[in-house]
Chain A
Amino acid sequence: NAGVTQTPKFQVLKTGQSMTLQCAQDMNHEYMSWYRQDPGMGLRLIHYSVGAGITDQGEVPNGYNVSRSTTEDFPLRLLSAAPSQTSVYFCASSYSPATGSYGYTFGSGTRLTVV
């Protein structure tokens, strides 16, 4: 089925561990982004990419790295997990036309707990 696939759905990490959250889309969308959502809060943009090989920082980029080697994949890396990174992470994608605008498709989220 077409859409945005995030893996894993749940993860528990110890402080200082590293991991990569995976995000893949099969809609040939140029634009991809990562958000985090803390309990009772709205979504905050971590990093985004407007195409393969191009990434940029969002509102809360510290502690996270991204890369975009293919159109389909946009992994998010936590180099040294901290309890403050306990959150739900959402990946999203969209067409990125020269003009006009399109809605985003979101994944179902990765629930990360850092102990």
Chain B
Amino acid sequence: DAKTTQPPSMDCAEGRAANLPCNHSTISGNEYVYWYRQIHSQGPQYIIHGLKNNETNEMASLIITEDRKSSTLILPHATLRDTAVYYCIVRGSGNTGKLIFGQGTTLQVKP
């Protein structure tokens, strides 16, 4: 599975959009980009994933560049409850299985 690179920390003002970047320059054609977050010491929570098209759900939007070497997770209106560690992960499709976590980005939403 491709390795990802994320900034260790970011700040965002409450009510503003939070844009979390991720580099995955060695991603291969059948690998998906996943985003998870972990609030305090809870179990990680799935946010969104995509292959090459941009994706949106009730939690966030995922923008993947045309060459697929980087992506951005967008939380459109960040709240204090969005303060968490955000993990960008690349994983193969089907039964290839393994989900390998990196260090993630600690997002601090400030009032």
B91 contact set on A, CB distance < 8 A: 101
Contact with A along B15-58 (1 / 0, CB 8 A): 00000000000000000101010000111111001010000000
Does the CB pair B99–A45 fall under 8 Å?
Answer: yes
Query: Number of contacting residues on B, CB 8 A?
Result: 25
Beta-carbon contacts of A98-115 to B below 8 Å, as 1s and 0s? 111101111111000000
Distance (whole angstroms) from the CB of A94 to the closest CB of chain B:
8
B74-103 contacts to A, CB under 8 A, are 85, 87, 91, 93-95, 97-103
B34 near A103 (CB under 8 angstroms)?
yes
How many of A's residues come within 8 Å of B, CB to CB? Answer: 30
In residues 26-73 of chain A, which contact B (Cβ within 8 Å)? 31, 33, 35, 41-45, 48, 50, 56, 58-59
- A88 B41 Cβ-Cβ under 8 A: yes
A42 touches B103 (CB 8 A): yes
Interface membership of A74, Cβ < 8 A: no
Q: Which of A45, A90, A98 contacts B95 (CB 8 A)?
A: A98
Assess whether A48 is in contact with B49, with CB atoms less than 8 Å apart: no
Residues of A within 8 A of B (CB): 4, 31, 33, 35, 41-45, 48, 50, 56, 58-59, 88, 90, 92, 96-101, 103-109
